[in-house]
């Protein structure tokens, strides 16, 4: 019943239009043989034209919400609030969509918090247990090497190779711990952690780094964590995809907001083709960067053109 009633005026208008048109046709046929046939036909045609005009006006008014629907969808996709349509049903639909999106945002925030908590737990266990065990193993190997005689050259060689392997494994675990949850982020802050991560990884990839941070100070842990993860993703994308020679990273406070800019001089890409809805396999990282920023009331803008490099600009409220 609720679906039919809004359509009732349209159906009634169509029925009246068809009825009047049929009557007009019959009237024209009857008046054809009368003395004033041309005058009668003229009035009948005028009446039919008026009916069509009224019918058009009714249809235009009734279908106006459908004309506004594409614009509303575009506004919702741009995450604009207060998207009125003038139609109660469409307004209710927009309200339901916004409620579901808000619920999804809350769930996403909970997932990210749980992810960071799990990263901390794994990093702590790797640091306290695995790293400690490897360190003790290195000490034992060194002691065994000292106990070997000169006649045990082959055993000494094997012990040396074992020590090198243990040292490399320990270094890899330390890198893994830093990727999971860098203690530098908690101890020294966002700028130091981003600078260390960028320099370590970009230098290894042969990409020159330019870094700047001005009057940054400290921010709440969720904000620093989000910006660090976004910077981490942007730097990883530069290394994997950009073929860049230089990367510029800037952190600053602007009008009570923390701004992160990551720019490279690489090959760039078509930004319109990098959206999950397009079936892109390697674009979820870009989507995740934007999602992290929006969850904290910020925004992430990505500018790129083929052959012209890429710029990632993120702004998040500092408090």
- Please tell me the distance from the alpha carbon of residue 175 to that of residue 169, in angstroms, as a whole number: 10
Q: For residue 110, what pLDDT is reported? A: 73
What integer pLDDT is reported at residue 317 of this predicted model?
92
DSSP-derived 3-state class of residue 213: strand
3-state helix, strand, coil in the chain (%, to 5): 70, 10, 20
Measure the CA–CA gap between 228 and 231, rounded to whole angstroms.
Answer: 5
Sheet of 310-317: strand order equals 208-214, 246-254, 257-264, 310-317, 299-304
With 0-12 / 13-18 / 19 or more C-beta atoms within 10 angstroms meaning exposed / middle / buried, residue 130 is: middle
How far apart (Å, rounded) are the C-alpha atoms in residues 108 and 125? 26
Q: What is the pLDDT, as a whole number, of residue 20?
A: 65
Q: How far is CA 276 from CA 49, 100, 141, 146, 281, in A?
A: 51, 19, 51, 58, 8
Q: How far is CA 90 from the centre of its chain?
A: 26
How is residue 135 written in tokens? 């360190």
- The stretches in the chain having pLDDT less than 50 are 1-5
Q: What is the pLDDT of residues 224-243, one digit of tens each?
A: 999 999 999 999 999 988 89
Task: Please report the pLDDT score of residue 86 as a whole number.
Answer: 58
pLDDT of residue 183: 81
Q: Say what the pLDDT of residue 251 is.
A: 95
Q: Which one of 3.40.50.2000, 1.20.120.1230, 3.60.90.10, 3.30.565.10 gives the CATH number of domain 185-317?
A: 3.30.565.10
Per-residue confidence (pLDDT) for residue 203, from 0 to 100: 92
pLDDT tens digits for range 134-192: 888 888 888 887 877 766 777 878 888 888 888 888 888 888 887 777 888 888 899 99
Paired strand residues for 213: 251
* DSSP H or E stretch at residue 286: helix 284-295
Helix (H) or strand (E) holding 246: strand 246-254
Those residues whose C-beta lies under 8 Å from the C-beta of residue 58, and which sit 6 or more positions away, are 9, 10, 13
Terminal CA-CA length for the chain: 50
In our burial notation (b when 16+ CB lie closer than 10 A, e otherwise), range 18-29 reads eebbeebeebbe
Domain ranges for the chain, please list them. Answer: 5-86, 115-180, 185-317
């Amino acid at each position: 019943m609720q679906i039919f009633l809004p359509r009732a005026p349209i159906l009634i208008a169509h029925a009246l239009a068809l009825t009047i048109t049929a009557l007009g046709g019959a009237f024209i046929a009857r008046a054809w043989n009368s003395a004033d046939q041309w005058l009668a036909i003229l009035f009948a045609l005028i009446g039919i034209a008026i009916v069509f005009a009224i019918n058009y006006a009714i249809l235009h008014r009734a279908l106006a919400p459908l004309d506004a629907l594409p614009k509303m969808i575009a506004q919702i996709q741009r995450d604009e609030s207060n998207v009125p349509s003038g139609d109660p049903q469409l307004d209710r639909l927009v309200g339901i969509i916004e409620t579901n999106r808000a619920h999804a945002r809350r769930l996403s925030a909970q997932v990210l918090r749980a992810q960071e908590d799990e990263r901390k737990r794994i990093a702590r266990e790797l640091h306290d247990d695995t790293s400690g065990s490897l360190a003790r193993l290195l000490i034992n190997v060194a002691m065994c090497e000292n106990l070997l005689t000169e006649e045990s050259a082959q055993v000494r060689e094997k012990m040396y190779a074992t020590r090198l392997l243990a040292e490399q494994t320990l270094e890899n675990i330390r890198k893994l711990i830093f990727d999971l949850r860098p203690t530098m982020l908690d101890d020294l802050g966002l700028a130091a952690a981003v600078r260390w991560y960028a320099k370590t990884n970009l230098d290894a990839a042969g990409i020159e780094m330019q870094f700047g941070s001005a009057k940054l100070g400290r921010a709440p842990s969720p904000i620093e964590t989000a910006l660090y993860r976004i910077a981490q993703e942007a730097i990883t994308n530069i290394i994997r995809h950009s073929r860049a020679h230089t990367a510029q990273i800037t952190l600053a406070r602007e009008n009570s907001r923390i701004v992160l800019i990551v720019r490279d001089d690489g090959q760039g890409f078509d930004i319109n083709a990098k959206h999950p809805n397009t079936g892109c396999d390697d674009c979820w990282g870009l989507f995740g960067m934007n999602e992290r920023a929006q969850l904290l009331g910020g925004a992430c803008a990505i500018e790129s053109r083929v052959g012209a490099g890429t710029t990632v600009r993120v702004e998040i409220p500092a408090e």
